[in-house]
Amino acid sequence: MKIIHLHQEEAEIIKLAVANNRQAQQQIYGRFSPKMLSVCRQYIKDIQLAEDVMITAFMKVFTNLNKFEHKGSFEGWIRRIMVNECISYLRVQKKVKFTEDEIYVEESFNAIDSQFSIEQIQFLIDALPDGYKMVFNLYAIEGYKHNEIAKMLGINEGTSKSQLSHARKMLQTQINTLKKLDNGTE
């Protein structure tokens, strides 16, 4: 029995997919689509629209698969395409507005209590204005730095920091309200 290492197997599947092997492309889609739909859903509230954006992004993945250099994580490469496609979609829809607010206050932010479900947390994030939500997702979830976010969104770094600060403050207020409701004090 021949043992194939996961990385070698992934590299082989990518090679086949580059050669337009439909089974290899289906394997890649099947393996990564659940996670990537979740990524798209972080940016786009409507699940059907998020799925449409994900499918468009996968078309870009397969079109540009020959550009993947096998230097980093394949999943990370796909994820970056998904995030960029979500940003492009939201820009075209003109759903995102950033206030040019250079003044921001770096506040401490308490981690969200584990008493909340993933659905509740996603609901709170979805309730943020689109600009706050996008910067929050890019910074807190995707791990981008403010200078990278600014470049991706065509805003200045101060605006990115300000949007994040406002998002955090808004989330903290929503969390406190939920806690009071759960404790029956409001």
Q: What residue type is 178 in one-letter code?
A: L
Q: What is the pLDDT of residues 15-35, one digit of tens each?
A: 999 999 999 999 999 999 999
Which pTM value belongs to this model? 0.75
Neighbours of 32 (CB within 10 A): 19
Distance of alpha carbon 37 from alpha carbon 87, whole angstroms: 14
Q: In this model, does residue 181 exceed pLDDT 60?
A: yes
Distance of alpha carbon 154 from alpha carbon 61, whole angstroms: 23
